[in-house]
Structure 1
Amino acid sequence: MRTYLGIDLGTANTLVYLKGKGIIINEPSVIAIDQNNGKILHVGIEAKKMIGKTPSNIIAIRPLKDGVIADYDVALVMMKHFITSSIGKLNFLKPTVVVGIPTDATEVERSALKEAALDAGAHRAFLIEEAMGTAIGAGLDVEEASGNMIVDIGGGTTEIAVISLGNIVLSKSIRIAGDEIDESIMEYIKDKHNILIGEKTAERIKMEIGNVFASKDYDELKMDIIGLDVLTGLPKNIELNGEDIREAIEKPVMKIVENIKIAVEATPPELLSDIVNKGICLAGGGAMLKGMKELIEKETLIRVVIAEEPLTCVARGAGMVIDKIDILENLEKNR
């Protein structure tokens, strides 16, 4: 029996939705390779554990950047691994797959992703804009004659879109998201404390005490970290608080918010009225950043609703749309 997969091939994580079972894979989009012989050592979780902790001949590669393929060969290996893991090695019928892609992806980037899916073992491959996948995965009725606004803050991109009658009415895809927030934390700690930290530490700081909306509760969040003192070359322990991290990530966060406001201002009045009544649907890892909901509400004066399971919306939507092939074909025709 043929299987149907929805894939969110994200810059930070790859999620796979298997029709009839739900999300079956949620792993980092990372591959560990031995440069001496080109051998693939690990894919996903085990590969991410090796970041910053490997000998010089072993490198951990993220084959996607800003939501699109940056290293085709490595992305192909990763996609093959996840597709095979999803359907099993003994299933000889190739799956039909739907893969999410940023709204502003170029034709070259779209072709590369579709080709990679087919080369990785798909029978048929469809692409769906991540904003549309998010909306469907969040349970919104995208086919009704009513406006829905989606904000999906992922690892590499933030997708902002207004959807009505099964089509994307307007969209903005900006390459500012979770990864840039992590980089801002690393830069802040280096500039303010003369300490170097790695990606994994920055991500942990973001998740534990990261916040974007001033409040006493957030200010009092505290966390101890160990980094490398650039002056002495020795390990150093410092304490960070919520106010520090809010300052550290203010610039990328406000860029995201400004683009949401631009999209709101560009929305046709009738659809904007619908959005005000329903609220803005917020998804992606950024939806879980403390205070993000409140900040967007304050800046747009529109209620914000965080999607159920915000991290898995794109993959679930990509899988669920298999039952709505007409939407997929319509999206491809209208591009």
Structure 2
Amino acid sequence: MSFLSAEFGIDLGTANTVVCRRDGVVLINEPSVMLVSLGADGSRKPILVGHQARELTGRTPVGMATMRPIRDGVVTDLQSTKGFVAAVIRQVTHRPWERFRPRAICGVPAGATALERQALVEALEEGGIGHADLLPEPIAGAVGCGIDPLEPRAHMVVDVGGGTAEVTAFCFGGILSSSSCRIAGDEMTAALNQYLRQEHHLIVGELTAEDVKIRLRAAHDTTEPIVVEGRDVFSGKPRMQTLDPDEAALA
């Protein structure tokens, strides 16, 4: 490790962002959500990131908005991602020397294009990272699970994130085969939201739908119903709806 810069491992995910130190200590693990102030010239100034920003989703004051800079596992808005990275780096660096051109290894979907990889590196370096290297997320995930990717035998990793789902086989540190699709956790949340509206005439927000999805995942071995709070489509009044786990699986 250089004495003149810090080193981090970064996972800029569609749903969550994780930053750890070289020794594996997790410094931040928060939603990839940013609250921005909207300027008259179209500029967007970051105000909050992570949990604090996510809690304001759907109820931001005038002149502000919440946004997710990463979609389908890749950069969709360079300026927003740059601002998000800069805000995250400020949160994890507490000493002046740590902010002097820190180095980072960042995960990237195995199915990302060359242009998407370039955009990610550009966002990282313009956001305050002095030098950024990319590592395929399946390889990073294998290391996190205690698997040695350099072993002379093949391993397979299934990674279902918020924006992408990937199945990757690798051996000797190289990818043998990989299949990726951009249908993952976000689409599950959207499908559940639509199901509640169409079948039960219940309107719920993004955060509520996400919470219901997580509760259903945790209760997949039980038959206990889940109570969902929302707003009735016809009356507009608050209402609760009981949702059977088996029924929700069909959504």
TM-score, normalisation: structure 2: 0.91
The change in CA–CA distance for 1:30 and 1:89 in structure 2 (over 3 A counts) is farther
2:177 to 143, 151, 170: 170
| Residue in structure 2 matched with residue 136 of structure 1 by the alignment | 143
1:44 to 45, 50, 56: 50
Aligned pairs, number: 244
| Residue in structure 1 matched with residue 84 of structure 2 by the alignment | 78
Matched to 2:214, the amino acid is M
CA deviations on 1:220-244 (whole Å, 9 max, x unpaired) are 2222222121112222211112112
Residues 1:87 and 2:93 are matched in the alignment? yes
Residues 1:126 and 2:133 are matched in the alignment? yes
Equivalent-residue separation in structure 2 for 1:211 and 1:87 (angstroms): 34
| Residue in structure 1 matched with residue 18 of structure 2 by the alignment | 15
Residues 1:69 and 2:72 are matched in the alignment? no
CA contact (8 A) 1:31 1:47 kept: yes
CA deviations on 1:18-73 (whole Å, 9 max, x unpaired) are 11251110011111112246442211111001001223432100011100011111
Equivalent-residue separation in structure 2 for 1:189 and 1:210 (angstroms): 17
SS in 1 for 2:96: coil
Q: Which stretch shows the higher mean deviation, 116-125 or 188-197?
A: 116-125
**Offset of residue 89 of structure 1:** 5.2
Residues 1:197 and 2:204 are matched in the alignment? yes
Q: Which stretch shows the higher mean deviation, 36-45 or 170-179?
A: 36-45
**Offset of residue 95 of structure 1:** 1.3
CA contact (8 A) 2:71 2:163 kept: yes
CA contact (8 A) 2:46 2:87 kept: no
1:115 to 114, 122, 127: 122
Within 5 Å, give how 1:1-335 maps onto structure 2: 1=3, 2-20=5-23, 22-36=25-39, 38-88=44-94, 90-91=96-97, 92-210=99-217, 217-218=221-222, 220-248=223-251
Provide the identity percentage. Answer: 34
CA deviations on 1:123-151 (whole Å, 9 max, x unpaired) are 21101111111111111111111010000
CA contact (8 A) 1:210 1:242 kept: no
What is the root-mean-square deviation of aligned Cα atoms in Å?
1.7
Higher relative contact order (CA 8 A, sep 6+): 1
Equivalent-residue separation in structure 2 for 1:125 and 1:39 (angstroms): 24
CA contact (8 A) 2:10 2:107 kept: yes
Contiguous gaps of at least 5 residues in structure 1: 249-335
Equivalent-residue separation in structure 2 for 1:212 and 1:104 (angstroms): 32
The change in CA–CA distance for 1:84 and 1:34 in structure 2 (over 3 A counts) is closer
| Moved segments of 4+, more than 6 Å | none
Which structure is higher in helix share? 1
SS in 2 for 1:168: strand
Matched to 2:50, the amino acid is G
Matched to 1:73, the amino acid is Q
Which structure is higher in strand share? 2
Contiguous gaps of at least 5 residues in structure 2: none
SS in 1 for 2:156: strand
CA contact (8 A) 2:9 2:19 kept: yes
CA contact (8 A) 2:142 2:149 kept: yes
The change in CA–CA distance for 1:72 and 1:64 in structure 2 (over 3 A counts) is same
The change in CA–CA distance for 1:93 and 1:54 in structure 2 (over 3 A counts) is closer
Equivalent-residue separation in structure 1 for 2:197 and 2:211 (angstroms): 16
Equivalent-residue separation in structure 2 for 1:20 and 1:57 (angstroms): 41
Matched to 1:30, the amino acid is V
CA contact (8 A) 1:149 1:161 kept: yes
CA contact (8 A) 1:51 1:60 kept: yes
